[in-house]
Amino acid sequence: MSRVMPTDPVPEMRRDGTTTSDDTTTSTQSFSALINRLRRIDTLDGLPARYSLQVRAGLLDETLKLANYSAVTHLIIAVAVAYFFWDSAPRAYLLGLLAVVAVVIAATIYTTWLYQRLYGDAVTEVGVGRGYRISAGFALALGLAWATMPVVLFCSASSDERLLVVSIAAGLISDAYVVGPLLSVSYLFAIPVIVGSFIGLARSGEPIALSIAVLLLVYATFVGVSVHRMSRLSRQRILDRVRVEDQSETIGLLLNEFEENTSDWLWETNETGRFQHVSPRMADALGCPIERLQRSSFRDLLRAGEDRDEDRTPDLLSHLRQGKAFHECLVAIETPTGLRWLALSGKPFTDQRGTLAGFRGVGSDVTQRREADAHIAYLATRDPLTGLSNRAVFHDVAGEACTASMSGGPRVHLLYLDLDGFKKVNDTAGHCAGDDLLRQVADRLCASVDANAQVFRLGGDEFAILHLSRESAEAEILAEAVIASLHRPYLIEGMQAEIGVSIGIARAPQDATELQDLMRKADLALYTAKEAGRGRWQCFEADLERRVQRWRELDSAMRAGLTNGEMELHYQPLVSLQDGEVVGCEALLRWTRPGLGPVSPAELIPIAESTGFVITIGRWALRTACAEALTWPVPMRVAVNISSTHFRLPDFFQEVEAALDATGLAPERLEIEITESIFLANTPHVLENLQALRAKGVRIALDDFGTGYSSLSYLTQYRVDKIKIDRAFVRDLSSRPECLAVIKAIMVIAGDLRIDVTVEGVETEQQAELLRLRRCNSAQGFLYSPARPSGEVTGLIELIPQAVRQARQPVRNVA
């Protein structure tokens, strides 16, 4: 197939409907002069013929890979041109342009497919030459067809349509990038479009056309330079690849045949299998003198390691007998220096008559490599610190055991262990001491199990024991023994350390048949053991899973519950111990699920804290409490409990400020209750929020004081307005004098620091009188009222002082 050349100039449509061919005739003559010059652009002078052919083939292949996509794009553009200009341009021209583009595109797709089919697997001079000529012809034909578009459409087009013509022309010029590897093809397509665009602009005779022409010139120059650079880089890249492949083949041959300065060695045998050439390196590897090896038979030497595992000596002997080549055949040979592993490669050679004359090959001593591989394999399956099998081995062994238990094999008992108190030892004594402790733990675990059990380290201070037995009692006895063993003191770097262990037990197939399910249930049992006080074991029970399901159910339902108005705030009064007046109320969350009844806050709050939803609840409670407190007499306060997670947020102060602004509640009527756990993280946002809130006038109360992480240093580091003594001190106030002593001490400290004190859990008049005599500021508890809905607070404000005055006189007489 020869190059496609235009025989007639493409007519140009004038504004009056007539046509002219003067400009396009000049353009076509220019194209004819360019074609001969462009054909020489892709030639590769100064290269060997095989390089030149492969580089040209690579350039053509890269261009053809995108040809079909480019062709479809051109067809879509032709359809778009016909659609947009159908009412403003000669329809005959639009249909003609669409037809020409469609024909060229169809021919391009077909010839590309045909070329790949005929020459795709074989690079020939004829095939590459034809591919170049076909690509150039189609590019030129397509470029000439598109060159008519700005010539015919620009002059008669409206301003919007002209913008569309210029945009399409610019996009078509950029298509030169697609066929960029073949520079001649890029130019044959782009140059006609560029020239046609200039002609169309020139024919308009408008000043703006000159500006567009200048921009078009800059753009076309940029495209031309870029395409030229891309083509040169593509040629260089493909040439480099061809050279590397050629050199790699040569280097590979030299490496296989050349012996100097390598760790490999050459060997050669005759037709009988006796060595004809023995390398000194080969003699050193086998630990035998060269003279002895030259009198030896290759087959006799190989038979020494015939029965070893992973030894391919039988395969190698079979290849030698059949005269077949072999590669990297691993064999084991007993030598005077011990067992050596050799990797042998060889191929037969023949004499002039074509008869087998022997074997030549390369050998290397891979003994050290095998030892290193074995060590790596050991490390891949072992915990490097304790020497126990690691998590990967655990999954393999436990998975097989679970499968076997389903087929009548022994029951699988998974003991999931987590050390109690290890982190404290690791943090205080150092990581080296922690590592030593883990090694001793591993030794004790191994000493505690029998042949039916295997110990694994899963990571950190987590271990697992896989026990195979018909009786569950044996696993429980083992758990008791492990707990007793690990609880004994450890001697680490001259110091004594004590830790414990909690164990969760799950059984297969009784509890689970799949390993992942078995591990999950053992983890549930472990969590329960830790929750029950640590240092104990717990077997998985169905109730544990039901509790998890309940947890997940509430986690999902609480979000909808808050949105649907199922949650509300109840308020428990805070009563002055001096005059019995209600000075404020604490907002307490209540959730009643329709048809299912109330959900205890003790169950709800831990779930919300674990998922972070407690922050959303806190924001809602803050706004709701501020809004409802507006109906109470001034200066009654409302206290809102805020989780430590919420309070640590950097923008918590802004949330409080926004709630106060939105509701109109005075800041001094809001009290934020936090627990001492909030100070453990010691983040800068805690102090910033505290200072900002107190500066605003919002009061800060420290809840549950005297329990948990209580520290008097908190009262000096973080200024608060109130501390709330936990109900645990009030419950035994009459029977345990030490509780009263603690309250007296707290009151002395609070008085010196000018901090108010509220006592929780007051249930009797005697408790209230004792606290009043110790000059506690206020109290709350069932003595006065449980938490009640917002609508009942106003009534409580009136009733509680009366009830206190009526009950106080008899109590004073008793006191």
The predicted-structure confidence for 620-664, as pLDDT tens digits, reads as follows 999 999 999 999 999 999 999 999 889 999 999 999 999 999 999
- Which amino acid makes up residue 78? A
Query: For 498, how many CA atoms within 13 A lie in the half-sphere containing its CB?
Result: 5
- Assign residue 457 the CATH number of its domain: 3.30.70.270
Contacts (Cβ under 8 Å, ≥6 apart) of 111: 1, 134, 138
Strands 582-593 and 537-539: unpaired
Report the pLDDT averaged over residues 62-77: 77
pLDDT at residue 647, as a whole number: 92
Report the pLDDT averaged over residues 515-526: 92
User: How far, in Å, are 39, 64, 178, 245 from residue 241 at the CA level?
Assistant: 24, 19, 21, 6
**Listed residues 344, 373, 402: the one ending a domain:** 373
Token pair belonging to 383: 């915990």
Q: Give the single-character DSSP code of 514.
A: S
CA distance linking residue 579 with residue 518, whole number of Å? 61
Q: Give Rg (Cα) of the chain.
A: 45
Number of H helices, E strands in the chain: 28, 24
Residue 28, pLDDT > 50, answer no
452 in the same domain as 359: no
Chain-centre distance of CA 815, in angstroms?
68
Q: What is the pLDDT of residues 746-769, one digit of tens each?
A: 888 888 889 999 999 999 898 898
pLDDT at residue 744, as a whole number: 86
Contact by Cβ (8 Å): 506, 525: yes
CA 258, 261, 266 angle in degrees (round to 5)?
40
Bridge-partner residues for 699, per DSSP?
671
Contact by Cβ (8 Å): 47, 239: yes
Within-domain flag for 288:
yes
CA distance linking residue 104 with residue 611, whole number of Å? 63
Report the pLDDT averaged over residues 147-162: 79
| Residue % of the chain over a pLDDT of 70 | 87
408 in the same domain as 311: no
Token pair belonging to 310: 């992973």
Residue owning tokens 């001793």: 440
- Which amino acid makes up residue 118? L
Task: Write down the pTM of the prediction.
Answer: 0.48
CA distance linking residue 488 with residue 443, whole number of Å? 13
Residue 574, pLDDT > 90, answer yes
Within-domain flag for 150:
yes
Long-range contacts formed by 23-29: CB under 8 A, 24+ apart:
23/151, 23/199, 23/202, 23/203, 24/147, 24/148, 24/151, 24/199, 27/147, 27/192, 27/195, 27/196, 27/199, 28/144
**Listed residues 373, 406, 429: the one ending a domain:** 373
Q: Can you state the angle between helices 49-84 and 91-119, rounded to 10 degrees?
A: 150
Token pair belonging to 796: 């409580």
Task: Tell me the residue ranges of DSSP E strands in 191-244.
Answer: none
Q: What is the pLDDT of residues 462-474, one digit of tens each?
A: 999 999 987 888 9
pLDDT at residue 470, as a whole number: 79
Contacts (Cβ under 8 Å, ≥6 apart) of 724: 673, 701, 702, 703, 704, 705, 757, 758, 759, 760
242 in the same domain as 202: yes
Q: What is the pLDDT of residues 679-714, one digit of tens each?
A: 765 677 888 999 999 999 999 999 887 665 555 666
Query: For 634, how many CA atoms within 13 A lie in the half-sphere containing its CB?
Result: 5
- Assign residue 641 the CATH number of its domain: 3.20.20.450
pLDDT at residue 97, as a whole number: 83
489 in the same domain as 353: no
804 in the same domain as 668: yes
- Considering only CA atoms, which of 440, 431, 424, 422 is closest in space to residue 386? 440
Contact by Cβ (8 Å): 175, 155: no
pLDDT at residue 437, as a whole number: 94
**Whether the bond into 786 is cis, omega within 30 of 0:** no
Token pair belonging to 395: 């999954």
442 in the same domain as 356: no
pLDDT at residue 258, as a whole number: 53
pLDDT at residue 3, as a whole number: 33
CA distance linking residue 699 with residue 540, whole number of Å? 47
Within-domain flag for 148:
yes
Q: Domain total for the chain?
A: 4
User: How far, in Å, are 411, 421, 792 from residue 428 at the CA level?
Assistant: 41, 11, 54
Q: What is the pLDDT of residues 363-420, one digit of tens each?
A: 888 888 888 877 787 778 899 899 999 999 999 999 999 999 888 888 999 999 999 9
pLDDT at residue 263, as a whole number: 65
CA distance linking residue 514 with residue 814, whole number of Å? 68
pLDDT at residue 271, as a whole number: 83
Token pair belonging to 567: 């949650």
Residue 255 CB coordination number (10 Å): 12
Most distant CA pair in the chain, distance: 133
640 in the same domain as 535: no
CA distance linking residue 321 with residue 312, whole number of Å? 15
The b/e string for 291-312 (b: 16+ C-beta within 10 A; e otherwise) is: eebeebebbebbebbeeeeebb
Dihedral sign computed on CA atoms, order 627, 632, 637, 641:
negative
Within-domain flag for 259:
no
- Considering only CA atoms, which of 334, 263, 277 is closest in space to residue 300? 334
CA distance linking residue 527 with residue 539, whole number of Å? 11
CA distance linking residue 31 with residue 36, whole number of Å? 9
Averaged pLDDT of the chain: 82
User: How far, in Å, are 37, 554, 602, 641 from residue 605 at the CA level?
Assistant: 83, 10, 6, 11
702 in the same domain as 616: yes
Within-domain flag for 158:
yes
Residue 104, pLDDT > 60, answer yes
Report the pLDDT averaged over residues 288-297: 77
514 in the same domain as 623: no
Range with the largest mean pLDDT of 102-111, 151-160, 449-458? 449-458
**Listed residues 316, 345, 373: the one ending a domain:** 373
- Phi, psi angles (nearest 5°) of residue 412: -105, 125
419 in the same domain as 348: no
Within-domain flag for 2:
no
Within-domain flag for 282:
yes
Report the pLDDT averaged over residues 186-192: 80
723 in the same domain as 674: yes
Within-domain flag for 764:
yes
CA distance linking residue 721 with residue 753, whole number of Å? 9
Range of 239's domain?
Answer: 20-248
434 in the same domain as 300: no
Residue 174, pLDDT > 60, answer yes
Chain-centre distance of CA 573, in angstroms?
50
Residues in the chain: 815
CA torsion angle 294 298 304 307 (round to 10): 170
Residue 441, pLDDT > 70, answer yes
User: How far, in Å, are 460, 526, 559 from residue 536 at the CA level?
Assistant: 20, 9, 36
